[in-house]
Structure 1
Amino acid sequence: MIAIEATIVATAMPQIAADLGGLKLYSWVFASFLLTQTAMTVVFGKLSDVYGRKPVMLAGIAAFLLGSILAGFAWSMPSMIVFRLIQGIGAGAIQPVGMTIIADLYPMHERGKIQGYLASVWAVSGVMGPMLGALIIHHFSWAWIFWMNVPVALLASAGFIYFLHERRERRQLSIDVPGAILFTGAVAALMVALTDAGDGRATRAWIATGAFLVLLVLFIAQERRAADPMVSFSLWGRRPIAAANAAMLLGSMVIMGLTTFLPMYVQGVQHRTPVVAGLALTMIMVGWPVGSTFAAKVFPRYGLRPMMIAGSILVPIGACAFLLLGPDNSPVLAGAGSLVVGLGMGFMGVCSLVLIQEIVGLAERGSATASNIFARNLGSTLGAAALGAVFNFGLSRAMNGTPVSSEQLTAALQSGAGVSPAIEHAMQQSLHGTFWGVLLMSLLVMIATVCIPPTTIGRRRQAEVSGPSNGTH
């Protein structure tokens, strides 16, 4: 459910936005989901330590299912955003707890094979998502984009209920609820500031920026005094971890920018079908697991840092392809760029995770892994908001300073025929602005990766041969 969500919703969103209106809130449909997912990831990870994996996983599936059902009944873009927030809460439980269950079930020397299975899940979902999305919006209501999660969620819940048995050992941990609340508020304020700045609402943007700074200071103060902080600053302060996480944060911003705006360009500017737009985007989801699988096999020979640097070079190379897009270009160019970006991120993803897991002790490995997931999710959240601001900024200043209305953009997305050439040009220029932003972020990915210091990683054979330690089976 989580893997297919990225591509199936991205493929259908131009039609959903055209139906619901409020196109200026387009990026918030993605950002709202990622906001709650990011904020709740570490919280649910700690809750699973206290109450067990199964109940937290089942609660996450229930929240995701509730959000999916409600999203199918959305009557406006604001209501869709609210229901996507609920979906994100569920995703915030499913992703980290699922990875924790795998760590409970398999010793270290077997987890590489399981990670390969997970990579195949993302690859299959990446291919199926756009195709299913296109078929559903052509033959059914777009609501079934969300309602299709119902049978999957019920089957997954039944599987955990009947097959996952754990002898839970209660551990007394304090959940950093104030930290989670302050973090959520700070990121929300930052997204509001970016969105309003792009819309030209300077006063609201400055107010939101002030709120972000205040909440950020309070969040830092809370984390420094919390017994079990949501974010361990001492862990994040280590240079290899900080640089690797920064690279993945920026890389996630690149991926989210393409996920949000590439389908809009292919459909709204090149006037291609949702199927074609989805296939162009799918190549990212194909390239990522392919790159991960290849990197996992060769990094023992060449080292983690060189493989990460190689991946970071591929990302801006792929991003350059989007700057060459035009109304008459073949979508193959967009697909090729997506594939190269996906390969680069696949190299970086698996190597960064192994790097930060192996340079810390066993007692810190869970927190180090969570920091990497946190950085990826935070990057996706900020990427949707920042590049959405770039897009809105371009629209507000198109056509010699005359803003382009949501109705005009809706008409361009719905038909693509009979639309003013000036409107099409405004959309093209605004989307090219977002692609320039993607290229800038990809260059920053390369810089952050180069900053990772050469690190000697020792092998911990005793950890690799040990079996599950918490009684989960």
Structure 2
Amino acid sequence: MTESAALHTEHRHWVLIACMLAMFMAAIEVTIVATAMPTIIADLGGFAQFGWVFSIYLLTQAVSVPLYGRLADIWGRKRLFLIGISLFLTGSVLCGFAHTMTWLILFRAFQGLGAGAIMPLSTTIVADIYSPRERAGVQGWLSSVWGVAAVIGPLSGAWLVQHFSWSVIFWVNLPVGLLSMLLLARFLPVRTASQGARLNLTGSCWLMICVTALLVALLQAEALGYWLLPFLLLALVAGWRLKQHEQRAAAPLFPLALWRSRLIVAGNAGNLIIGATMMGISAFLPTWIQGITGGSALQAGSALAMMSIGWPLASTLSGRLMLVTSYRFTAQLGALLLIAGSALLLLLRAESSVIQAGVTAFVIGTGMGMTSTTFLVSVQNHAHYEIRGICTASIMFSRMIGSAVGTAVMGAVLNLNLALRLPQASDPMQKIMSPETRQALPAEQLHHWTGQIAASLHWVFVVAMLIALLTLWIAWLMPRQRPEAE
């Protein structure tokens, strides 16, 4: 098995369907759980631990992604993918039986360990069974899964919680995951493990320590206070030790080919930036709609869903565009769309409509879809089969780290601006986000607060646009060539 897995055409579509089902299961998990959280908190209590339900899932997923990618290159995609889905489904079942918030957080960590296999290995398997020329279009199909999940997730979550126990939102993963496993077990051939290859355990330990410390520091910065510094120091030391170890190791966790290839480095840098920019809209556009314009949660969710619609549409288009132009042209066009969408954020005003916010989100989504697909396909086409798993995993890993960094940086910019503009106000953001508290505020005070918070959010959007500008430089590093047939 060299560049592409030796599958018959009639089998490939079943493998693709299996990968799409697995990705759908992982994608819908985020939105469906978020919808059900108020009900879960009402039943289990533990509101103070609310953030950890999401943070621990992201943490264990991010830590495990590069490990799955490397192990898939060593032991084969099929074995690791089935292990990952099994862990995810086991965690899902256990989450449904959680009787306290602490147990739910523990089981979510287990669920995240399985989720770390689904995203990178789905895209790696699809890259294995389709030629370089076909990959560009097929990755668009995988991206469409996220758009569908973004729409179905909140609606199905609300319906299930209303008519059944909240436990069902975790258990609905079972039929989807089992069907995906059955299809892969039947149609995906087993690849012989690489002779003599082994996982670098020391490097893996340093990586887990570094990523865990960094993500805890970024995701829990407000709660940690001064304890943030020891976590950042630990991440820095572990990262330095990882770098030293990788340079000396006979079998490095990240093969040297990853760092010697300008294209692979550019693809990872591009996804790091995309992840950071994405948080400028995912975290703060709903805040603008609900806090500044006084819109509802449904309006905020509807505007944000436009990004999830624009992403798969642009991803599919980029697959076709790469075939007639080049990686560089497609990536540069996507970068320009991303920059334009980020600039549109700065045009939002208190009287701006939800439609304007939705259009802005759609433009940003198209830019993200076009650039991320181009970076991913170019890296997969450039990487040899033996390292394609870790190369694909590194792309996903970079986007996750970028999202965490973007959230922390833009959150810090917002908090700094609020401290400077409203020094006497006690938690003004929370008060204007709550409809009851908002209505109780005097009109003059509400007008003053919304004006200052709007100005603070505009600085967040400025940071998002500056980060987006970097994608244009990354896109220039892409080669002037098209995806070539084998």
Corresponding residue of 2:375: 352
Corresponding residue of 2:111: 87
2:49 and 2:284 map into 1 onto residues whose CA distance is 13
In structure 2, the CA distance between the partners of 1:445 and 1:18, relative to structure 1 (3 Å rule), is farther
**Structure 2: which 5+ residue stretches go unaligned?**
1-24
Residues 240-268 of structure 1, C-alpha deviations (whole Å, 9 max, x = no match): 33233212211112224433444455456
1:449 and 1:305 map into 2 onto residues whose CA distance is 10
Task: Report how far residue 61 of structure 1 moved.
Answer: 1.4
TM-score, length-normalised on structure 2? 0.79
**Structure 1: which 5+ residue stretches go unaligned?**
465-473
Corresponding residue of 2:6: none
TM-score, length-normalised on structure 1? 0.81
Residues 151-175 of structure 1, C-alpha deviations (whole Å, 9 max, x = no match): 3223323333444443644533221
Corresponding residue of 1:446: 469
1:241 aligned to 2:267? no
Q: 2:322 aligns with which of 299, 303, 326?
A: 299
| Matched letter for residue 228 of structure 1 | A
| Matched letter for residue 149 of structure 2 | S
Q: 1:378 aligns with which of 381, 397, 401?
A: 401
Corresponding residue of 1:252: 275
In structure 2, the CA distance between the partners of 1:356 and 1:48, relative to structure 1 (3 Å rule), is closer
1:350 and 1:137 map into 2 onto residues whose CA distance is 35
2:165 and 2:449 map into 1 onto residues whose CA distance is 30
2:191 and 2:383 map into 1 onto residues whose CA distance is 27
Corresponding residue of 1:121: 145
Corresponding residue of 1:337: 360
2:311 and 2:156 map into 1 onto residues whose CA distance is 20
Q: 1:65 aligns with which of 82, 89, 92?
A: 89
Contact 2:326 2:480 in 1 (8 A): no
In structure 2, the CA distance between the partners of 1:283 and 1:409, relative to structure 1 (3 Å rule), is same
How many residue pairs are counted as aligned between the two chains? 458
2:234 and 2:327 map into 1 onto residues whose CA distance is 40
1:176 aligned to 2:200? yes
1:434 and 1:137 map into 2 onto residues whose CA distance is 33
Deviates more, 1:206-215 or 1:95-104: 95-104
2:76 and 2:316 map into 1 onto residues whose CA distance is 31
Corresponding residue of 2:66: 42
Contact 1:10 1:263 in 2 (8 A): no
RMSD: 3.8
Corresponding residue of 2:177: 153
Corresponding residue of 2:252: 229
1:325 and 1:222 map into 2 onto residues whose CA distance is 48
In structure 2, the CA distance between the partners of 1:167 and 1:234, relative to structure 1 (3 Å rule), is closer
In structure 2, the CA distance between the partners of 1:205 and 1:261, relative to structure 1 (3 Å rule), is same
Contact 1:195 1:386 in 2 (8 A): no
1:91 and 1:420 map into 2 onto residues whose CA distance is 44
Residues 262-316 of structure 1, C-alpha deviations (whole Å, 9 max, x = no match): 4455456655444433222211111111111112212333322122122112223
What secondary structure is seen at the aligned counterpart in 1 of 2:277? helix
Q: What does 1:253-268 align with in structure 2 at a 5 Å threshold?
A: 253-267=276-290
Identity of aligned residues (%): 36
| Matched letter for residue 208 of structure 2 | T
